[in-house]
Amino acid sequence: MNRRLRSSLMPIGLAIVGLLVCSSCESHDERVESEKEEFVPSPVEGQTTIITVYDNYQVNPNLTTGWGFGCVINTPQEDILFDTGGDSSILISNMERMDIEPKDIDIVVISHIHGDHVGGLNGFLKRNGDVRVIIPASFPDAIREEITSYQAEYQEAKGPMQICDNVYTTGEMGTSIKEQSLVLNTGEGLVIITGCAHPGVANIARKAQLMLPDRNIYLVMGGFHLSGASDSELRSIIEEFRDIGVRKVAPSHCSGDRCRQLFEEEYGDDYIEGGLGNTITL
């Protein structure tokens, strides 16, 4: 691996990040930039599976919930872990109960700095340091040092970029809380996976459209960060989803019970119950 090392850093660990938890949201009135950053996707071949391995909402009662989010994406080329939840012991235990071997993961993507998304990274890297970890460019140097201390490689995401065949990151979005989301190009259409959606979940969907304008959005899943939103705000976002053309939704983690209820009422059979143990095959 080609590792980016910073000789001036001191290995102070990831413990500082554990104090940072999901607590506030960017304005949902923020608008994505109008300049397009388009990608030409590869032909879609084979099957993609998304398995939620960390969440506070529960689909599989045999798994252990925790506040945070994490999912494993199995693509024909790479196995990706998106976010690591807040506790590595819960993350690893859930993965193993679902017959997912941590050493099979090729790439780790961290959405943002909060401890309920990056808190499990240290423990995961103890089990598998042979990975590429994609972090927002704004992350503190301590995390870069921690990653390289396990002989892992890190890559910074500033703007939109391709991670591997048909897998992209939006790059950093937002202002006070910088966050990246994943965009998968599948045979069904685009699948957008959000950690917490601090920049606004509809804004993230619009960003994905700018990146891959010839593809429809099949599914938006993950944390929508709408637990404190009013009914009128929630219905406005649902209307935006319909205008954007989002076909299916699977809100979980920080989305909130009322958000999930209203999305289910609107989407009906196209609503997917998001949460720990949920498996989506495309």
- 204: domain CATH number is 3.60.15.10
Q: What is the pLDDT of residue 36?
A: 57
Q: What is the pLDDT of residue 25?
A: 45
pLDDT tens digit string along 92-118? Answer: 999 999 999 999 999 999 999 999 999
Helix or strand or coil: residue 87? coil
pLDDT tens digit string along 196-205? Answer: 999 999 999 9
Residue 4: inside a domain: no
Residue 18: inside a domain: no
Query: Which pLDDT band, with edges at 50, 70 and 90, does 18 fall under?
Result: very low
pTM of the predicted model as reported, rounded to 2 decimal places:
0.89
Residue 35: inside a domain: no
Q: Which residues contact 230 (CB under 8 A, 6 or more apart)?
A: none
Residue 211: inside a domain: yes
With the C-alpha atoms ordered 247, 282, 207, 238, is the resulting torsion angle positive or negative? positive
pLDDT tens digit string along 169-220? Answer: 999 999 989 999 999 999 999 999 999 999 999 999 999 999 999 999 999 9
**Helix %, strand %, coil % for the chain, to 5?**
30, 25, 50
For residue 24, pLDDT over 60 is answered with no
Please name which of 160, 199, 156, 149 lies closest in space to residue 182, comparing C-alpha atoms. 160
Residue 29: inside a domain: no
Output phi, psi for 101, to 5 deg: -85, 120
Instruction: Answer whether 64's CB lies under 8 Å from 57's CB.
Output: no
Instruction: Answer whether 255's CB lies under 8 Å from 225's CB.
Output: yes
- Residue 47: DSSP 8-state: -
For residue 6, pLDDT over 60 is answered with no
Structural domains in the chain (count) = 1
Residue given tokens 């397009």 in the structure block: 36
Query: Which pLDDT band, with edges at 50, 70 and 90, does 20 fall under?
Result: low
Q: What is the pLDDT of residue 3?
A: 39
Sheet holding 79-82, edge to edge: 153-157, 132-136, 107-109, 79-82, 69-74, 49-55, 279-281
pLDDT tens digit string along 252-272? Answer: 999 999 999 999 999 999 999
Residue 21: inside a domain: no
Residue 183: inside a domain: yes
Q: Which residues contact 211 (CB under 8 A, 6 or more apart)?
A: 36, 37, 38, 39, 160, 168, 170, 183
Output phi, psi for 217, to 5 deg: -90, 115
Q: Which domain covers residue 242, as residue numbers?
A: 46-281
Residue 250: inside a domain: yes
